[in-house]
Amino acid sequence: MTARVSVLIKCYNYGRFLPQCLRSVISQSRPPEGIILVDDGSTDETTEIARGFPQVRYFRQRNAGCAAASNRAFKESRGDILCHLDASVMRQGLVCNWKHLALPLMCLLPIRRTSTQRLRPSPDTRKADE
């Protein structure tokens, strides 16, 4: 079975970078099974831009900071492999390829979900660290 990839994007007033970021994620040779965008209380055009991308699951929250936005994105995700990024990352022209799991400047986190939905490293990750 192929691992499901979820891309978790947090955004705070980075609407100007968001279209390029989302187009880059969507246009991968293997698009992710889920794209979660958490808007951490932006006051710019983030909401309007997100509505233009039906592939994206958009969540808006009061500004609570980077950690809260990351936690919300994790809570809403369903993937086996999580890729965390900020909405501004793609301005540098990054192109990702999860087919080979080569994602520079992004954190890939293979996970195994438990009944309490807490994050646990996958067995493969622990072996690599030993």
Quote the pLDDT of residue 90.
54
Interatomic CA distance for residues 19 and 40, integer angstroms: 17
6 within 8 A of 78, measured Cβ to Cβ: yes
**For residues 5 and 123, which has the higher predicted lDDT (pLDDT)?**
5
Position 7 pLDDT exceeds 70? yes
Q: Tell me how far apart the terminal alpha carbons of the chain are, to the nearest angstrom.
A: 26
Interatomic CA distance for residues 4 and 16, integer angstroms: 29
Domain extent listing, the chain:
5-129
The Cβ of residue 24 has, within 10 Å, a number of other Cβ atoms equal to: 17
Superfamily name and number for 5-129: Spore Coat Polysaccharide Biosynthesis Protein SpsA; Chain A (3.90.550.10)
Residues 20-64: tens digit of each pLDDT = 889 888 888 788 899 999 999 999 999 999 999 999 999 999 999
Position 100 pLDDT exceeds 70? no
pLDDT (mean) for 93-103 = 45
pLDDT (mean) for 107-125 = 45
